[in-house]
Structure 1
């Protein structure tokens, strides 16, 4: 199903009970975030806030806040159907005579929906602000979290054009409002927008920019998708293929850029590469931690166009799960066939919400030879934005990769610390606050596949000489202990039945986590444990997702994951505690995102006024 715009999608959601209206006045500063955060974590509906204090425009949030709504937005019954849709397109028949050629007709017709369709005008230009009329404060732009540096545009479709080739790009980059006509532009060093700006600087010219808010949901998704560098494939093309018809675009009013004709708002302007960059942030980011202030380019808004009755679309990011988890899952499904073209042994892969996209990847493979798990993991590190992956866990083909507990159980049973773990280095997400350098750090591969004889140091030269297909190695069996050991600084701890020990550590001195790990490895309790997971003082050891989220954010695997000899069969210790300057960590350690008790209390007290059911509270 194709949606002309987000308002038509909103109407369908409302008919299905998946969108509710809140008519009482709400604040764009923190209150909407607290409401939306509760709803997305409880599987609640999208919300249309009809009365945002200080703005004449309504705000909608959570349009793709569940797996089901995301699938509906992208025109499929289930997100798994995206992989089949792409596999159908790329599996063109190259033989078989006339019958084979005719078999491609339907696929070629689908491919024809890729190029956008140019129109003379569209709803997004029904109202135009120019000059002194431009005032971003009139839009209901959210201040999402207490320590944010200001209001941020959180769902922008940022459009630029290569100054030399004319190639279009659209990306989603947060934008901090700095004045009525200026925002920051969070172009990170690996992003295409940065490359376009660098070219404009070399040519001595400004870079024109257009920012669309809205469009149809497929385009909003496409702006987040990590597209491969294929000529002619851009975000408009992806949206056109997903919606089954060519996407309508038109020229901007004051910029020579193609913009979506069905957007709600479009901000037009420029970035001057000769201008000093502005300090942007902090920002409560998708990692669940604040991104600390840094310098980024300024975007000058020279015109705003909009519908006669527009709706401002927004999202929030923060501690998982959030709405972006479903957009990430959509990208998984969409690009699985492409990954399988390059690495055909891949059966499936998944990026769990606890890993906030890049921090953790589970991949299952059809294994036929020794070392294949490392081959696949290293191959993934070379695929587009997968280069930012921090921890890759490889399992057998019969393991369900989106079963978080089952995968970590496989790790305990089949991955011997040291023998089946490998650290390396490479690019990291610039939002990774724990890496050894900005955008550069350690990575970890865990081979949790069933081992072949050559992989266990048996000394047998072939499987035939061994007499069977597998090494016959006995699996590690976790064993519980009656009493928990008492170590300095441990605020809470828990042993799981599947071979993990969870710890919340109040770290007060350098090297404390390492001391804890070594003491634990020598303790009898370690005999039934393969992984010691050390979180920070805020970690909830009763919540595995919270613990893994903390640890994956707080480690550079080369520095913070240690293989230790223990009274058992070896121990892998994960140091997810805060790193100190005395330990050589020179950057400031960011805080976790938390809402203020005052705002939480206000929302709690007003919940009945919003008209929202108690089950989503």
Structure 2
């Protein structure tokens, strides 16, 4: 089922018994975080707080906080369904060339084949209520202060919209936004992000950068802001592909940016590159540690628009697992086929939440020659945001990398550390507090595959212990007669 907006998704979850309405008065400062953290740790329901003491709107949180809800948000029962659709699309777009450049050429053709580009409308639910100039008061929004050492209240489940000042190409990224006062916020776009690149271009050109921050919309579009999309594929086109239906956009009131018409709340404004940067943070981050305060651009708010019955969607991050783990899992399942474009030997990969997504990547491959594992590990470090990975562990095709216990079991049985581990320098996530320098550190590639003689292994490699299929079938057939409970 594809829902058109957040309101419809809330009703869908309520009917499925996956949402709890909370009417007890609660504070957006710390209290909601503690409640939501306890619920997220056990993959509990979405929560709708109707009586938030620090704002005028109901606050919605944890809508993506389970495998089932994340799948429903994208209109499927199994997240692998979307990956299979991408694989089918790639098969349809294959040309006669089979070489590396031919495979890279498929990426822009994905855009050409797409049948769901966004459409613009003149009227939109997100502009039913309008506040401009002195009417703007961001303190009316129930913005959470999540953790005790946070630098202030942060808007978390965002789509931050900008355009390239030179090319006009649009971008929507999920960046945290700190509320400084009634009409000013801080934009935490890291140096590797497209929003930061747009800001730097505006600085070189000597122009102000229009910015819009949207909250809500249909769940697939909300998710798309977090997806590491290939060049040339916009978040709205990707959302349209997932939904099988175009995303409707509307022009902002105070500048030319277009935003999802079904948003709950739209915050319009601009960032001025000529102004000094503002101190933003600290912030209790998805690493489970605080990211330190640093200087980022300020956004001056020129308008706030919203639906008549607006909800304030939010999330929290912290020590995993949290709601964002399921958003990361969706990305992993959807984008495995695109990794196979350049490296068809990849069978599967998994980024467990304990590794904070990119810090640890298990990848299984169809090993075909000596050194193949290191080739794949190095190749993955050249794939977009995968370049920020700290540890890539390469395993054989028969290892289920989505089972973390099995992946570690195979790894620790298969490696000789001196022989099978390589270190190299490279870019690191700016939130990583352990790296030797800001956004720069080292990586590790671990070859945990079965070793070949050419790789220096002259001994006999043993077989895994596996029971015969005949005996397993016999025991399955007789299990009830044994009288042994399964639970």
TM-score w.r.t. the length of structure 1 is 0.72
Deviations 1:283-310 (A, max 9, x none): 0001110001111110111100000110
Aligned to 1:126, which of 125, 128, 138?
128
| Change in 2 beyond 3 A, CA 1:110/1:12 | farther
How big is the shift at 1:265? 0.3
Distance 1:128 1:261 in 2: 14
Distance 1:66 1:402 in 2: 16
Q: Is the 8 A contact 2:388 2:428 kept in 1?
A: yes
2:223 match: secondary structure: helix
Map of 1:211 onto structure 2: 213
| Change in 2 beyond 3 A, CA 1:476/1:12 | closer
Distance 1:355 1:211 in 2: 29
Distance 1:228 1:244 in 2: 19
| Change in 2 beyond 3 A, CA 1:109/1:383 | closer
TM-score w.r.t. the length of structure 2 is 0.91
Q: Is the 8 A contact 2:93 2:110 kept in 1?
A: no
Deviations 1:64-112 (A, max 9, x none): 000110000001111121210111122116689xxxxxxxxxx999944
Q: Is it true that 1:201 corresponds to 2:189 in the alignment?
A: no
Map of 1:149 onto structure 2: 151
Distance 1:8 1:444 in 2: 45
2:264 match: secondary structure: strand
Q: Is the 8 A contact 1:128 1:305 kept in 2?
A: yes
| Change in 2 beyond 3 A, CA 1:93/1:24 | closer
Q: Is it true that 1:135 corresponds to 2:123 in the alignment?
A: no
| Change in 2 beyond 3 A, CA 1:95/1:267 | closer
Q: Is it true that 1:318 corresponds to 2:306 in the alignment?
A: no
1:344 match: secondary structure: coil
How big is the shift at 1:236? 0.5
Q: How does 1:89-108 map to 2 (within 5 A)?
A: 89-92=89-92
Map of 1:242 onto structure 2: 242
1:326 match: secondary structure: helix
Distance 2:273 2:219 in 1: 32
Distance 2:112 2:322 in 1: 32
Q: Is the 8 A contact 1:210 1:255 kept in 2?
A: no
Q: Is it true that 1:190 corresponds to 2:192 in the alignment?
A: yes
Aligned to 1:178, which of 153, 172, 180?
180
Q: Is the 8 A contact 1:128 1:303 kept in 2?
A: yes
Map of 1:592 onto structure 2: none
Q: Is the 8 A contact 1:414 1:476 kept in 2?
A: no
1:92 match: secondary structure: helix
How big is the shift at 1:474? 5.4
Aligned to 1:472, which of 428, 442, 460?
460
Distance 1:187 1:141 in 2: 19
Map of 2:285 onto structure 1: 285
Distance 1:135 1:63 in 2: 26
How big is the shift at 1:31? 0.5
**Unaligned 5+ residue runs, structure 2?**
97-108, 466-487
Deviations 1:136-165 (A, max 9, x none): 110000001111011000011000001111
Q: Is the 8 A contact 1:110 1:241 kept in 2?
A: no
How big is the shift at 1:393? 0.6
Distance 1:367 1:415 in 2: 16
Map of 1:487 onto structure 2: none
Q: Is the 8 A contact 2:451 2:457 kept in 1?
A: no
Distance 1:94 1:47 in 2: 44
Map of 1:228 onto structure 2: 230
How big is the shift at 1:56? 1.8
Q: Is the 8 A contact 1:161 1:257 kept in 2?
A: yes
Distance 1:95 1:259 in 2: 35
Distance 1:128 1:217 in 2: 23
How big is the shift at 1:373? 0.3
Map of 1:614 onto structure 2: none
How big is the shift at 1:402? 1.2
| Change in 2 beyond 3 A, CA 1:108/1:435 | closer
Deviations 1:337-381 (A, max 9, x none): 110111011000000010011110000001111000000000000
| Change in 2 beyond 3 A, CA 1:423/1:94 | closer
Q: Is the 8 A contact 1:161 1:167 kept in 2?
A: yes
Distance 2:30 2:214 in 1: 24
Radius of gyration: which is bigger?
A: 1
Q: How does 1:208-607 map to 2 (within 5 A)?
A: 208-230=210-232, 233-458=233-458, 472-473=460-461
Aligned to 1:168, which of 156, 162, 170?
170
Q: Is it true that 1:58 corresponds to 2:69 in the alignment?
A: no
Higher mean C-alpha deviation, range 384-393 or range 192-201: 192-201
How big is the shift at 1:113? 3.4
Distance 1:94 1:419 in 2: 39
How big is the shift at 1:435? 0.6
Distance 1:338 1:423 in 2: 26
| Change in 2 beyond 3 A, CA 1:450/1:265 | same
How big is the shift at 1:408? 1.1
Deviations 1:249-283 (A, max 9, x none): 01001111011100000000000001001111110
Distance 1:306 1:364 in 2: 46
| Change in 2 beyond 3 A, CA 1:431/1:43 | same
1:382 match: secondary structure: coil
Deviations 1:414-434 (A, max 9, x none): 111110111111111000111
Distance 2:59 2:161 in 1: 22
Q: Is the 8 A contact 1:413 1:476 kept in 2?
A: no
1:419 match: secondary structure: helix
| Change in 2 beyond 3 A, CA 1:425/1:112 | closer
RMSD: 1.8
**Unaligned 5+ residue runs, structure 1?**
97-106, 459-470, 478-617
Map of 1:83 onto structure 2: 83
Map of 1:566 onto structure 2: none
Map of 2:100 onto structure 1: none
